[in-house]
Amino acid sequence: MRATPTTDPEQACPIAPVVDLVFSRWTTPILWALHTFGRQRFTELAGRLTTITPKVLTQRLRQLERDGLVTRTYHPEVPPRVEYEITPLGQSLAPLFAALADWSAEHLGEVDRARAAFDAQR
């Protein structure tokens, strides 16, 4: 499908909403951790993602729950326990992440060389 000259490119790109949803800051590492390590408590996730602040982790988890990619389970114990888990909808992103991991392994060296060549010209 080709965009007409009057079409807004952001609206015409069919993957833009997915990119906004999945590749916003911290979303991918959170989903990757939940996919790789399974159900986790907040402190476990925070321990795996050491450079994210607790406030931002909370915000991202709430957004992922709202988007249907993560579930939050509250266990009314003393002390209370909360666990996060990737949903089947979130799991459906696994092939996308696998393809990106393959692309990364195959091409990031080329990107690094291109950057170094570009920077050397400046």
Q: Which of 61, 63, 101 is nearest to 84 (CA)?
A: 61
Q: With H, G, I as helix, E, B as strand and everything else as coil, classify residue 7.
A: coil
pLDDT at 51: 94
Q: What CATH number is attached to the domain comprising 24?
A: 1.10.10.10
Is 106 a member of any domain? no
Starting at the edge strand found earlier in the chain, the sheet holding 70-75 runs 40-41, 81-86, 70-75
Q: What angle do helix axes 54-66 and 27-37 make, rounded to 10 degrees?
A: 80
pLDDT at 35: 94
**Sequential pLDDT tens for the chain (122 residues):** 555 555 666 677 888 888 888 888 899 999 999 999 999 999 999 999 999 999 999 999 999 999 999 999 999 999 889 999 999 999 999 998 899 889 999 999 999 999 999 999 98
Is 118 a member of any domain? no
Cβ atoms of residues 67 and 21 within 8 Å: yes
CA atoms within 13 A on the CB side of 28: 12
Cβ atoms of residues 38 and 26 within 8 Å: no
pLDDT at 29: 93
pLDDT at 25: 84
Is 7 a member of any domain? no
Is 96 a member of any domain? no
